[in-house]
Every structure is written in structure tokens, then in C-alpha cells.
């Protein structure tokens, strides 16, 4: 037996050289190691470089890969809606579903509420088991934690979130709790700055009740027993943010049955798109005195967005996308490629105005 050097590093080097010679001796089935230039990293291919799955699939689970951005703007809606529909279809029958967020870099508030509603419906109706993995983005982790999706899917949340999670309810059964929580949190975190707390609380109550009224009037038939809505809200830097979702029949279908919109629909072309119907209904609400408190963004709420020139209002229903920007009174009505199967509403309303208050 050869005598090894007493120095530790030399001993290890000699052992590695002998091991390499044994593995690559003539007649061995092992391939020789690739040549490697000292001082340069070894170029070894990775799984993700070839477009393969980021993680191996777990036996017994049906995997659904989340898109890069979960938002309901026209740019991303055509990838988000099929993802949510695939999640719902794979959860049918109580299946086990794994959502992989490895490629997801951003989640908007409205996208998180939409995703939460689909997961919650699957857990209620199909008794499915839905789990999460692959959360690599800090913003995605914060959004999933803040909205309560981590808790819903029994994923270990980093820390208790101070924000209000997504709530499920019917009519206005959570209205007082939401308003009280928002105002207390805003006062503690000093988000109202110089705004009048009494005026801000009155405006918050009006805006949230208006969103819930829209669900009652335009979302579900009167015979629907489970007329649920899912909503979250926050007060940040003197602005009220509301994101609400329902999974009803949608605004375009209910407008046809509403007598007050027949004159508006008659002025449009024979088969108006969902986006054009939503835009016409919004314009009718602003111009008609009879539309006060009629849901679909009452005249008072729209006027606050337009006067302050800082807020915005977004409505997505059916295959229609509508956006009202307070600055320059800009309206965008655009068709999206898929039916959202319900209605999504997002409001950003400034709270610092003291000269005007919503009509009661």
C-alpha cells in the first residue's frame, strides 16, 4: 500500500486522483469528466434553462402553474382568467390541487380577491384540497399573506398581517366590522394625515355599502341562496382602496332586464359588447337623477373620483373591462378575451376632501 503524505490537503488530492483513475480506467462504462479550466465555473445545465417544470410534481396532486402577473387589466386578463378556470375545473370532485407560484412576480389586489373567491368556492362546493408552493417573490408572498390566501390553503404564513384579509359575506352583514377595522387601523398607522375622521368614516361606509348593493342588484337572481361576495379594503395615504368580487351572472346580462337601462341600450348598436353596456350604464348613472344609490357606482361615488382627479374606478364583468380615471375624466371600455364569470369592482377614492360629503 502506498504511503500517503502527512499534509491533509495533499492526502485529499491524492485520494481524489486515485478515485478518478479507478472510475475512468480502460473498459469502464463511466464517461470521463468534462475538461474544466481552473478559475472558471463549470457550465452545468439547469432544469429551468430548458423550460421544464420548476419543481417535480407531487403524486396525487394536480398542478396548476400561476401566470407571471395576476392582475385583471386587459394586458394580463387573458392569462389570469384561464388560470383561475383551470384551478376550478381541476378541483371538481374533491381533487388535490397544487398551485405553483414560482413564475409569479406580482399580484394585484383585485387579482388576489378573484383568486381567493375561486379557492374558497372550490373548498365549499367540491371539498377540494388546495395547497401552495414555489412562492419566490417578496411581493407575491406579501399579497398572499395580506389577503389570507396563505391561511385559506393552510400555508405557513410568515407573520400575522395587520391588514384586513378577504372576507366572504352576503348583503351587508360585515359592513360595520369592515368600517370599524379600517378606521381604527388608519388612525393607529396615521394614514389619514389631516383628513376629517368623521367625514372619512362616512365616506368609507357609503363606498363599501355601494359595492355590496351592486352585488345585490346585479349579481345574483333573487332565488339564489348563496349570493356571496368577497371583498378586501385598506386606507393608505388618505386614499380608500376597495376590491370586491362576486361570482354571479354579471352586469351585462342583468342590464337587459332592468327597465331603466332600455333607453340607453336602444341607442347602442344591435349587439353591443359587454364593455359598451357597462360604459353606457355608468354614463346613465351619472346623468340621471333617478340613479342615485342604484348600484354600479352611484353618482356620488363617481363624482368624488372625477372631482378629486386622484381616484379611479374599475369594473370587470362578463367579457367587458371598464376604467374611469379621475384625471382628465378618461374612460376606457375594452373587450377581454374570456368571461370572468362574475363581476369585479375596484375603487380608489381620496378621503382628504372636506368641502363635500356624500349625499345621504
pTM value is: 0.77
Which CATH number characterizes residue 306's domain? 3.30.565.10
- The grid cell for 133 is 408552493
**Residue tagged 394580463 (cell numbers):** 76
Please tell me what DSSP assigns to residue 110.
Answer: H
- pLDDT tens across the length of the chain (360 residues): 566 566 777 777 788 888 877 776 665 554 444 555 555 555 554 444 444 445 667 788 999 999 999 999 999 999 999 999 999 999 988 889 999 999 999 999 999 999 999 999 999 887 789 999 989 899 999 899 888 899 888 887 666 555 678 888 877 667 777 788 778 777 777 766 666 778 777 777 877 777 777 776 666 766 666 778 898 888 877 788 888 899 888 888 777 666 556 666 666 656 788 888 888 888 777 766 555 444 455 566 677 677 666 788 899 999 999 998 877 778 899 999 999 999 998 888 877 654 444 444
Q: Are residues 86 and 197 in the same domain?
A: no
Look up cell 408572498; give the residue: 141
Distance CA 48, CA 134 (A): 13
Number of domains observed in the structure of the chain: 2
Residue 132 sits in the same domain as residue 187: no
- Shared domain for 146 and 181, answered yes or no, is no
Same domain, yes or no: 130 and 208:
no
Cα–Cα distance between 219 and 255 in angstroms, integer?
Answer: 11
CB 211 within 8 A of CB 347: yes
- Cell numbers for 268: 347602442
Last residue of a domain, one of 152, 182, 197: 152
Q: State residue 40's pLDDT score.
A: 54
Separation between Cα atoms, residue 277 and residue 255, nearest integer Å: 8
d(CA 148, CA 243) in angstroms, rounded, equals 14
Query: Which pLDDT belongs to residue 10?
Result: 77
In a domain, 3, yes or no: no
φ/ψ (deg, to 5) at 259 = -65, -30
Cα gap 108→147, rounded to integer Å: 11
Q: Write down the pLDDT at residue 66.
A: 95
User: What Rg value do the Cα atoms of the chain yield, rounded?
Assistant: 28
Tell me which H or E stretch contains 345: strand 343-350
**Is 297 inside any structural domain?**
yes
Element (H, E) at 145: helix 138-147
Domain identity same for 147 and 175: no
Range(s) of the domain holding residue 117: 60-152
For residue 54, what are the CA distances in angstroms to 63, 115, 131? 12, 22, 16
Per-residue DSSP letter, 125: I
List phi, psi (to 5°) of 186.
Answer: -65, -40
Q: For residue 12, is it within any domain? A: no
Amino acid at each position: 500500500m502506498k504511503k500517503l503524505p502527512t499534509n491533509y490537503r495533499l492526502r485529499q488530492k491524492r485520494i481524489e486522483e486515485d478515485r478518478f483513475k479507478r472510475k475512468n480506467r480502460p473498459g469502464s462504462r463511466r464517461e470521463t469528466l468534462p475538461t474544466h479550466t481552473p478559475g472558471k465555473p463549470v457550465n452545468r445545465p439547469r432544469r429551468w434553462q430548458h423550460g421544464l417544470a420548476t419543481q417535480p410534481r407531487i403524486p396525487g396532486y394536480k398542478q396548476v402553474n400561476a401566470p407571471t402577473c395576476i392582475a385583471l387589466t386587459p394586458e394580463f386578463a387573458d392569462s389570469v382568467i384561464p388560470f383561475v378556470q383551470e384551478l376550478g375545473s381541476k378541483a371538481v370532485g374533491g381533487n388535490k390541487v397544487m398551485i405553483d407560484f414560482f413564475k409569479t412576480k406580482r399580484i394585484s389586489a383585485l387579482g388576489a380577491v378573484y383568486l381567493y373567491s375561486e379557492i374558497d368556492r372550490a373548498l365549499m362546493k367540491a371539498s377540494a384540497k388546495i395547497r401552495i408552493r414555489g412562492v419566490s417573490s417578496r411581493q407575491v408572498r406579501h399579497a398572499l399573506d395580506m389577503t389570507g390566501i396563505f391561511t385559506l390553503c393552510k400555508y405557513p404564513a410568515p407573520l400575522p398581517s395587520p391588514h384586513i384579509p378577504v372576507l366572504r359575506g352576503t348583503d351587508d352583514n360585515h359592513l360595520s366590522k369592515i368600517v370599524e377595522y379600517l378606521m381604527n387601523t388608519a388612525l393607529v398607522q396615521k394614514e389619514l394625515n389631516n383628513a376629517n375622521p368623521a367625514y372619512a368614516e362616512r365616506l368609507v361606509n357609503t363606498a363599501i355599502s355601494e359595492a355590496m348593493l351592486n352585488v345585490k342588484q346585479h349579481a345574483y337572481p333573487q332565488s339564489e341562496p348563496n349570493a356571496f361576495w368577497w371583498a378586501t379594503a385598506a386606507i393608505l395615504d388618505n386614499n380608500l382602496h376597495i376590491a370586491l368580487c362576486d361570482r354571479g351572472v354579471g352586469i351585462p346580462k342583468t342590464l337587459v332586464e332592468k327597465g331603466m337601462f332600455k333607453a340607453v341600450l336602444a341607442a347602442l348598436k344591435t349587439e353591443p359588447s359587454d364593455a359598451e353596456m357597462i360604459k353606457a350604464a355608468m354614463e346613465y348613472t351619472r346623468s340621471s337623477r333617478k340613479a342615485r344609490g342604484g348600484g354600479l357606482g352611484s353618482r356620488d361615488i363617481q363624482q368624488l373620483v372625477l372631482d378629486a382627479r386622484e381616484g379611479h374606478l374599475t369594473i370587470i364583468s362578463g367579457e367587458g373591462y371598464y376604467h374611469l380615471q379621475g384625471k382628465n375624466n378618461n374612460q376606457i371600455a375594452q373587450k377581454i378575451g374570456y368571461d370572468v364569470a362574475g363581476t369585479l369592482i375596484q375603487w380608489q377614492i381620496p378621503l382628504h376632501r372636506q368641502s363635500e360629503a356624500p349625499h345621504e
